[in-house]
Structure 1
Amino acid sequence: MEMIAAVLVMLVVLVQNAISGYIEQVEISGCESCRLMLTCRKLDSIIAILDVDFEMKEPIIDTGVIPHHQPMFPPDHPLDALNKRCSGVNHCSFILREDSPGSESWGPGNVTIKYACATQDRIQRYCNSEIILDEAMTSGLLHNPGYPRFYAGQRRCSWKITARPHQKILLRILDLALFDTKVSLMEDCKDILEIKDSNQIIYSTCEQEHPPSEVLSGGDSVEVILKSRQEINARRGVLIYFKAFGCHLPSPPEEGYLVSRNDSFATYTCCRGLVFPDTQAKTRTIRCLGTVWNISLPLLGCEAPQPHDSIYLQKPAVVVTKEMSSELIAPILIILVLFAVNGVIIFYIHKAKKKNAIEVRDEELGTFTENKG
């Protein structure tokens, strides 16, 4: 029953997500010189590049070096080229050999691109705004105004993201293209991206990292800040994916209390002498499946335990008095009527046969008498 409830809860969340928008993942692949088309099925959706991978068909073998099928990407990472061509638009094309300088040294192979398509209602593109994550919306994208064409300078652009109590927030920096491209020290950054948790900076950078950096908050709220000192810049700015992490802690059951919890489980127990009515157990442990629990909420209140005999007899008594009386009596009456009708029919058939037998006998006797005379 708990698994069925969990499936129903997840289906409700999926239906709500479908109504309010979506973020779907797409994967395409092709040869190093093939033109790969990245498209979203809705015109108001935008592309967000998640990952790119290249597998060589004939790896180059250097003396003393173990060959491998995963090449070392050049300083100009293919992910940067993909972000430059495709991020923030509805459709684009990409040819590895033409659009990623230095990739010709890898030789023939297969390139795989993973990207996401997000509808506009899943995207936060205005500065100094607040994003609330709940059952209807558990994830989304944020980017600066003007992305992917430019980002404004000499201003502070921030987004405050808040999840439900006891949840955390996971952020993945998919694209970061600021004024500073190559710096050796953070102090040299003129424009900077910061992430704050409880007013403390937990992450800061001014250049894209490969693979994209992921940041997990310690609490249920974070603030993303883009600081720019320069004038308007013909760089893309920032594109970040965010989602709620973990489950919202449900209220304890009536006449019960929380014993322990972590990111995966929560355990509740009933007060002395009481049990959960559906399991007749004193303790219940629930499991977090992504962002929902594996049972329906709220939790059932604790009650006094019931004897096993009464529990066993209680349900049949209810079924007999309410269901059998209304559903079984009519079929039984119909069966009895059919038996009665069949009995009457059999009786008349037997009577008719007996009458025919007497008539046949009388005819035979009459014939015998005439012949004798």
Structure 2
Amino acid sequence: MTPGSSLTVLLLISTSFAMRNSSSRSLRTRQISGMKLSSGFMEIVQEETCSDSIIRLSCRSLKAIIFILEAEYHTDRTNACGYDLQAIEKERQKSLHQFTDRNALYSVKFARHLRESYMAEEEEKSTAVDLRPSLNRRCSGLQHCRYKMSTDHPGPSLWIPANIRVKYACIPEKEVRKYCNMHVKVVADEEGYVRTPGYPLYYLGENSCGWIFKSLPGQRIALTIHDLHIRDREPDGSCVDVVRVRDSGSTVYENCGTVAGDTIISNTNLVTVDLIASEEFYPARGFLLQYKVLGCPDILAPNGSHVSNGTLDTRTFLCRMGTLFPDTKQRTRTIFCNNGRWNENVQSMPSCVASSALILKTEADDNRLSSLSGDDIGSEVRRGVGTDNAVAFTTQIMDSASTQPNMLNNADYTVDVVLPTLLIALLFVGNAVIVYVIFQYRKRKTPPGGGTAEEVALDAASGVPPV
């Protein structure tokens, strides 16, 4: 081996050693937030540090337990360890390309072997390693714990020191259901948690331990198994102890062994979860799962329409042909689901009406306004000139309308009073003329110098001057 190639090998070894030493200057970041629960708050902690350091997970409340939300090891991020991986790689490549003889090629092979024994492969550098199984084994269900990747996770001794990102929650123990054979009502805006009796020390067996989750019709239920640790599979792949999820009687999930982060979304609003175990108790953690509701309840379409498209987050109503919604003048209407509730009250939605009737009604209203107030004022009102002008316009309508009853009253007075009075007067005059003619006729037939009292009376009446 030539002195130049020896220098290359020493340079690579010293670079790796310096990178390892610089990782001890870890730059840890920590963020704490809270989430509102039905009876308090759940603390959520997010921490990022170097993989060669010790991570301490703890809950400030003594009545809270830890469950892991995320845990990832990123081989392509090293800022938390205090060095720039890309700069080191660039410097290494620059030193390797300075030698072209055979010994230098040997040095490249040696450097590649050194790199493979210490760092991840190129294709693995862009991926993240899931650390949740080992973190669950170490910390889930406890109030505080210590975790070190080099000792608590299998096979990390050959990995390059890089960033570890951990996100966990401290949930009050009273928020976690811990009894079997329960009916659980899943409601909007709330998340719940279930753990097996004895978690995280052991789980019970021999008898089935189950839960029934139910929400409103039309909604779905999401179950997330944050930590599952029961008896492993048999050599033939079968499960002696098993967790089974059934959706309205149909099995949608079965598993055993160790699992972290599995999510099951139901197709209906009724889900059952059962832990079926063979022994009285088994020294494994059991499981911890989270449940929540998805979507909004079923709703009836407004009169004259039907649901044309429906998802977990939206419903679209379509009026029958030739009809539309009167307030929007559209044939379709879409409502949106937000935190388990629709943004509109369907019961208060107007029914679909015929589009031709709506157009005629609109035109009739416009014509009526124009006839009462004039085209100019009517156009101003249709353009929406403001509240004050609308009030003035209303006052003008009332004033013009107040003059119309006077005209109508004059016509009614002529028909109802004057004409009947003239007819009655004509009847009286006619009767008087008839009586006068009768008296004159009878008077001519009476002989002179005689007559009865009736005749005297008629003579007296005849002396009455004519009307």
- Choose the corresponding residue for 2:72, options 36, 48, 53: 53
- Choose the corresponding residue for 1:100, options 147, 153, 168: 153
User: What is the letter of the counterpart of residue 218 of structure 1?
Assistant: N
Aligned residue for 1:148, secondary structure, equals coil
- Choose the corresponding residue for 1:173, options 200, 205, 225: 225
CA–CA distance in 1 between the matches of 2:39 and 2:253?
A: 31
- Choose the corresponding residue for 2:137, options 84, 100, 103: 84
2:233/2:240 contact within 8 Å kept: no
Partner of 1:164: 216
1:177/1:208 contact within 8 Å kept: yes
1:274/1:302 contact within 8 Å kept: no
Q: How much does 1:236 deviate?
A: 0.7
Q: How much does 1:296 deviate?
A: 3.2
Aligned residue for 1:82, secondary structure, equals helix
- Choose the corresponding residue for 1:33, options 34, 38, 52: 52
Partner of 1:196: 246
* Higher alpha-carbon deviation: 87-96 or 264-273: 264-273
- Choose the corresponding residue for 1:127, options 180, 188, 200: 180
Q: How much does 1:19 deviate?
A: 4.5
- Choose the corresponding residue for 1:152, options 197, 204, 207: 204
CA–CA distance in 2 between the matches of 1:229 and 1:318?
A: 81
1:254/1:301 contact within 8 Å kept: no
Q: 1:212 to 1:96 in 2, by over 3 A?
A: same
Unpaired runs of 5+ in structure 2? 1-34, 79-84, 90-113, 370-380, 396-467
Unpaired runs of 5+ in structure 1? 1-15, 326-373
Q: Give TM-score, length-normalised by structure 1.
A: 0.68
Q: How much does 1:146 deviate?
A: 1.2
Partner of 2:289: 240
| 1:58-110 deviation digits (Å, cap 9, x = unpaired) | 598449x635325786xxx7322211222123333322223324222213111
Q: 1:300 to 1:42 in 2, by over 3 A?
A: farther
- Choose the corresponding residue for 1:301, options 332, 342, 349: 349
Name the % identity.
28
CA–CA distance in 2 between the matches of 1:258 and 1:315?
A: 39
Is residue 206 of structure 1 aligned with residue 262 of structure 2? no
CA–CA distance in 1 between the matches of 2:115 and 2:274?
A: 46
CA–CA distance in 2 between the matches of 1:21 and 1:277?
A: 46
1:267/1:286 contact within 8 Å kept: yes
RMSD between aligned alpha carbons? 3.6
Q: 1:22 to 1:292 in 2, by over 3 A?
A: farther
Aligned residue for 2:192, secondary structure, equals strand
CA–CA distance in 1 between the matches of 2:273 and 2:193?
A: 12
Q: 1:206 to 1:315 in 2, by over 3 A?
A: farther
Q: 1:105 to 1:270 in 2, by over 3 A?
A: same
Partner of 2:433: none
Partner of 2:280: 231
CA–CA distance in 2 between the matches of 1:90 and 1:297?
A: 45
Q: How much does 1:185 deviate?
A: 3.6
Q: 1:196 to 1:23 in 2, by over 3 A?
A: farther
CA–CA distance in 2 between the matches of 1:168 and 1:307?
A: 43
**Greater C-alpha Rg:** 2
Q: 1:219 to 1:208 in 2, by over 3 A?
A: same
CA–CA distance in 2 between the matches of 1:19 and 1:275?
A: 43
Q: How much does 1:227 deviate?
A: 0.8
Q: 1:140 to 1:34 in 2, by over 3 A?
A: same
CA–CA distance in 2 between the matches of 1:249 and 1:54?
A: 43
Partner of 1:286: 335
CA–CA distance in 1 between the matches of 2:161 and 2:344?
A: 52
- Choose the corresponding residue for 2:266, options 214, 217, 221: 217
- Choose the corresponding residue for 1:69, options 122, 125, 141: 125
Q: How much does 1:279 deviate?
A: 2.4
Q: 1:48 to 1:62 in 2, by over 3 A?
A: same
- Choose the corresponding residue for 2:302, options 253, 256, 261: 253
| 1:240-262 deviation digits (Å, cap 9, x = unpaired) | 12222223233323554433312
Q: How much does 1:320 deviate?
A: 6.3
Q: How much does 1:148 deviate?
A: 0.9
2:245/2:272 contact within 8 Å kept: yes
Q: How much does 1:213 deviate?
A: 2.2
- The number of aligned residues is 300
Q: 1:131 to 1:105 in 2, by over 3 A?
A: same
Q: 1:317 to 1:71 in 2, by over 3 A?
A: closer
Structure (1/2) with the larger helix percentage:
2
